[in-house]
A and B are shown apart, each in its own frame.
Chain A
Amino acid sequence: MDDFNPQQDTLLDSALNELPMAPLPSGFTTQVMAAIQAEAANPTARTARQTQPYPTIRFRLQPLDVALALFWSLVLIVIWLTTLWWAGALTIDWLPPVQANFSLVEKLSFANPGLLLAGVILVILELSVLGLVGFSLLGERPTVG
């Protein structure tokens, strides 16, 4: 397999035992003690160098996140449907004007395309903000160690 005989094998062991040790960086003990004192003063604060090895806070969508999102979506749909039902069931003064302007978007498209475009952009922006807020609330679950 190789050219090593038992004697050379012994030499290998001997050489392994004699591998040189690197000297301790200067001021190491002082740094350690300073880090300990800093840690004692502020247990949650860690030095930049200590936190550096764990840079990745990974987003992990879990079943609970999906369940919560579905639950709140359902709640919103139920509220919306209930409102529509109530609005239809009750006679409210302001209802006829609202119903008359229900197709406001369609009317705007003929009357002023610029307004419609602005409306669409506004909706997209609003959805983006909602998405970002949702992501920040659901995301960023730090993985420890």
Chain B
Amino acid sequence: MEQDEQTLIINAQAGDTNAFAALVTMHGTLVYNLALRTLGDPQEAEDVAQETFVRAWQALPGFRAQSLLSTWLYRITTNLCYNRLPHMKSELAALDPDTEIELVDERQTVENALVSSELVEMLHTAVNQLPESYRLLITLRHMQGLSYAAIAGVTQMPLGSVKTGIFRARQQLRQMLTQEMRSENG
């Protein structure tokens, strides 16, 4: 799979449009979902995703595979989202880099956790209510499965700010879910 992608990248860099079309199909869903989660509008998300790939095609000859193609695409998508929502970047930049926050890599410990569809639905609604900057971070972390360092690279923000942002986003999600559970039980 890895080799396949590498071959496709090399072929696309040489101008093979079919290879690039395969890369679009391969990464399209993740790019589109990142834009959709962040912008909250399907039409805008489609435009951003489309423009991401157009820009990627133009810049592909300069892609040196120092990072994963997906991470590179997320970075383009994030920049396009910044263009659409300029306040998002300033919101992220305003986050205090709190390096004291210790966030464990929870993705490895929850594989067996049972999650009800009701909780996922509640969470889905709660995520959509977060500010755009937090939505971006949460999506990169949980939907795209990036490490904190990779997120810092994609968003061009200090690692501490990314950690603070994710910490606060999760805190807000907890509060929203608690409120929702209370209202359902009460």
- Interface residues, chain A, with chain B CB atoms under 8 Å away: 2-4, 9-25, 28-29, 31-33, 35-37, 39, 49-50, 52-54, 145
Contacts and interface: CB of A to CB of B under 8 A. Distances in A.
B32 A12 contact: no
B142 A9 contact: no
Contact of A32 (B53, B114, B127): B53
Contact of A11 (B32, B49, B113): B113
Contact of B46 (A11, A13, A25): A25
B51 interface: yes
A21 to B, nearest CB: 5
A21 B143 contact: yes
Nearest to B107: A17
29 contacts: A2-B175, A3-B178, A3-B182, A4-B177, A11-B113, A11-B115, A12-B173, A15-B115, A16-B173, A17-B110, A19-B127, A22-B32, A22-B33, A22-B36, A24-B32, A25-B32, A25-B42, A25-B46, A28-B24, A28-B50, A31-B50, A32-B21, A32-B24, A32-B50, A32-B54, A33-B21, A36-B53, A39-B54, A53-B47
A4 B113 contact: no
B123 A23 contact: no
B107 A28 contact: no
B28 interface: yes
A28 B47 contact: no
Instruction: Give the size range of B's interface with the partner.
Output: 35 or more
6 tightest Cβ-Cβ pairs between the two chains A and B: A14-B113, A14-B110, A16-B142, A13-B106, A2-B178, A32-B53
B138 to A, nearest CB: 7
Contacts of B141: 16
Contacts of A19: 120, 123-124, 127, 142-143
Contacts of A52: 47
Given A15-B120, A21-B33, A36-B54, 14 more contacts: A4-B174, A11-B110, A11-B113, A11-B115, A16-B142, A19-B142, A21-B143, A25-B42, A35-B53, A36-B57, A50-B47, A50-B54, A52-B47, A53-B84
Nearest to B111: A14
B113 A10 contact: yes
A49 B48 CA distance: 10
Interface centre among A12, A39, A145 (most CB of B within 10 A): A12
Contacts of B170: 12
Interface string B5-27: 00000000000010011001100
Contacts of B183: none
